Amino acid sequence: MDEATQETALFRALLNACADAVVVSDEEGRILRLNPAATELFGYATGELEGQNVNVLMPRALAERHDQFMSHHLETGETRIIGEGRDVEGLRKDGSVFPMHISIGRADYAGQTYFVAILHDLTRQQNTQRALERSQRLDAIGQMTGGIAHDFNNLLTVIIGNLQLLQMRGGDDKHEELVDGALSAAELGAELIRQLMVFARQSALKPVEADLGVLCKDTLPLLERTLGESNTIKVSIAPDLHNVLVDPVQLRTALVNLALNARDAMENDGHLLISIENVSIDDTYMAQETAVRIGDYVRLSVSDNGIGMSLETQKRAFEPFFTTRFDKGGTGLGLAMVYGFVRQSAGHLSLYSEPGHGTTVSLYLPVLPGDAAGHPSPDAVEISAPPRGNGETVLVVEDNPEVRGFAVARLRDIGYRTEEAKTGEQAYEMLKAGTRADVVFSDLVMPGRFNGFELAARLAEEFPSVKVLLTSGCASDVVSGKAMLDGDYDILHKPYHHADLARRIQAMLTPE
């Protein structure tokens, strides 16, 4: 083997081994070579990008400026974009835009100029950063709130004490009426401060070893009165729940607050589902998606089929005094109190909502040390070693680009090829145009003409060989009640384990 052939072989091996995307182009911007990581990152098939201009990998605004940047560099030699990494946006084949970091190097050989771009997907990093910033913001608000609440407690102690002294000394009816009114207002202020102390994680919890299933059943009559006769409530409690350390009074208060929020969101004829189960978060993907630390938990989820929340509302839902229901007397402290109580109990809280379809709030309370060991999860072995695919194709249908990115990464990790669609209608048109898929993995709630149920029904009629697995963060019986379609469809609930997804797809592909 001569030296040139050896260097070529080594270069190809280096490209294939590189975990980051690598794209080689000429001075005209024509793609000459790229590694498998690049084709996967941008959602293209092998060989599909070679010969195209690198502009196809950029959003329009950046693509329009790219040629100008490169011409200026070649003419002047200025290196503003060469040898310096920067954060930009990439454009996938399906039209979705994602954040990435790019570093560009230049090579001159035999009178030709070549550029090598190394690209790193920043989606997970930015998701983690946003979750961290949100947590830090709530922590900062909590610390400030705790300090203010402490000072106001001192002031209210003096005010209430003096008003009670005036009350004890008596007086005419007019004076007593004024003192009683002032005392009632001060006590309301004290209650407000108590609620703020819960959010600030400075309340005096009285935790005991408890079974969440038992506590929930005990609270059910109160929840039924809270929801009213026009709404229905269903409870699903898994067997053999692990015990947790929790303040029963605060847990019941949290359930009532969540029920009140659900009642206001559902108006009338609503459906509320409370589900409790053991979860073992030993899956890195699931931990990233839910912002919950790896470990064993008991998860208590409260789901409604109300109006749901916009993305902006979801970002601020746990902040104190943030409310969209001022006209209904909302104070904005209900979810803030739940958040503070769960975090003070060493737990975590996640929120999933689809506008127009409902909301699910999940409380993750850590299992008592040693309790999980006495009740091992039946899926523990399968979770640690998920079954792998054999190159079958899964069409991922999800309107949220971040969630879609998670799903694609998971599926590729376990040996599947992937195609992507942002809506049910786009997925249907892709299949009609000849895109091959063994399984369609679709979100249940999506914008456009087809939701997940409608897409599944259409595929069962026109593409019966294609298996369909649906996923949703809302309770299945809440969502399916709005679908008004017949059919028994397999639903994987968000958030889900890496192994759960692998096992469900493998089961679909295994001949009966």
Asked if pLDDT for residue 65 goes beyond 90, the answer is: no
| 83 backbone dihedrals φ, ψ, rounded to 5° | 80, 5
Kindly state the average pLDDT of the residues 143-162: 64
Asked if pLDDT for residue 431 goes beyond 90, the answer is: yes
350-364 CB burial, b ≥16 within 10 A, e <16: bbbbbeebbbbbbbb
Select, from the ranges 70-74, 219-223, 309-313, the one with the highest average predicted confidence (pLDDT). 219-223
Kindly state the average pLDDT of the residues 305-316: 82
Asked if pLDDT for residue 155 goes beyond 70, the answer is: no
pLDDT digits (tens, 9 = 90+) for 242-279: 999 988 888 888 888 888 888 888 877 788 999 999 98
Q: Which of 3-7, 270-274, 303-307 has the weakest average pLDDT?
A: 3-7
Q: How confident is the model at residue 467 (pLDDT cuts 50, 70, 90)?
A: very high
pLDDT digits (tens, 9 = 90+) for 18-46: 878 888 888 888 888 888 888 888 888 88
Q: What mean pLDDT, rounded, does the chain reach?
A: 77
Select, from the ranges 74-78, 148-152, 250-254, the one with the highest average predicted confidence (pLDDT). 250-254
Q: How confident is the model at residue 463 (pLDDT cuts 50, 70, 90)?
A: very high
Alpha helical stretches, state H, 48-172: 60-76, 123-169
Question: Which residue matches tokens 């456009």?
Answer: 448
Question: What pLDDT was estimated at residue 43?
Answer: 86
476-511 CB burial, b ≥16 within 10 A, e <16: bebbbebbeeeeebebbbbbbbbbbbbbbbbebeee
Output the CA–CA distances (angstroms, integers) from residue 203 to 30, 58, 92, 345, 393, in the order listed.
63, 51, 49, 11, 52
Select, from the ranges 164-173, 238-247, 335-344, 490-499, the one with the highest average predicted confidence (pLDDT). 238-247
Question: What pLDDT was estimated at residue 483?
Answer: 46
Kindly state the average pLDDT of the residues 138-156: 60
Query: Between 282 and 299, whose confidence is greater?
Result: 299
Q: How confident is the model at residue 201 (pLDDT cuts 50, 70, 90)?
A: very low
Kindly state the average pLDDT of the residues 499-505: 85
Query: Between 245 and 157, whose confidence is greater?
Result: 245
Instruction: Enter the pTM of the model.
Output: 0.55
Kindly state the average pLDDT of the residues 471-487: 57
- In this structure, are residues 22 and 117 in contact, taking their beta carbons and an 8 Å threshold? yes
pLDDT digits (tens, 9 = 90+) for 158-180: 677 777 777 777 766 667 777 77
